[in-house]
Amino acid sequence: MNSNRRGPAPSIRIASFCKVIIAAVFIASAGISYVYLKNQLKLSGDKQIELERQLAEVRKDNERMQLQIDSLTSLAAIKKKLAQNSFGLVPITTDQVVRLNQDDPNGDDLRVVSNRPFRK
């Protein structure tokens, strides 16, 4: 066979090959990034849900404790305890009251409610 009739030896077209490789890498990395980001989004979502749950739990506990405080410090509860003498308080009588005379510009003179003089 005449050597002139032999076809040219196949050569690798570097530029085209690179283009294909780059395109493939780009598409692959875009795909992987997409999956990665999707996964991150899902993980962040899960984290958000968990944090929301914790926040709701804290809020709920806070509300519950606030209600408990309000119930224990309500007048009704205090009156009930007072009726049971839980505080050990006794009614105050007028003669046991001593007032600071706040109107006195000279300061903190003590003044008794009663006009009966103190025994000396």
Partner 1 sequence: MNRNEQARAAIICFALVGVFSLFSVRLIYLQVLQHDVYVELAAEKHVHKQLIYARRGVIRGSRGEPLAENRRIYDVAADGSHIRNPTALAQAIAGQLEMDPAELEAKLKAIVAKTIADKKAESKVLKKGVSEEVFENISKITKGQRQLAGIYFDLNFERVYPNGNLLAQVIGFMDAGHDPRLGIERSMQDFLKGTNVFRFLEEDQKGHELVQYRGLETPAKDGCDVRLTIDMQLQNIVESELDAACLEYKPKMAAAVMIRPQTGEILAMASRPTFDCNDPRSSTPDQQKNRPIVDMVEPGSTFKIVVTSAAVEEKVATPETKIYCENGAYAYAGHILHDAHPMGMLTLHQVLAHSSNIGAAKLAIQLGKDRFYQYIRRYGFGETTGISLPGEIPGLVNPPYRWSELDITRVPMGQSVAVTPLQLVTAMSAVANGGILMKPILISEIDDADGRPVVTYSPVQVRRVISTDTSRKIVSALKDVVSRDGTAKDAAVPGFAVAGKTGTAQKIDPRGGYLEGRYVVSFVGFMPADDPKFSLLVVIDDPEMKEGKAFGGTVAAPVFARIAKRVADYLGLQPANPVEPPGLLETPKKLTSTLAGRG
Contacting residues toward partner 1, per CB under 8 A: 41-42, 44-46, 48-49, 60, 63-64, 66-67, 70-71, 73-77, 79, 92-99, 101, 103, 109-116, 118-120
Nearest to 61 by CA among 116, 31, 95, 53: 53
CB of 7 to partner 1, least distance (A): 34
Sign of CA dihedral 73, 79, 85, 87: positive
Closest to partner 1 by CB, 29 vs 39, is 39
CB of 63 to partner 1, least distance (A): 7
CB of 113 to partner 1, least distance (A): 5
Q: Which two three-digit tokens encode residue 61?
A: 């506990």
For residue 84, give the DSSP letter.
T
CA distance 40 to 35: 8
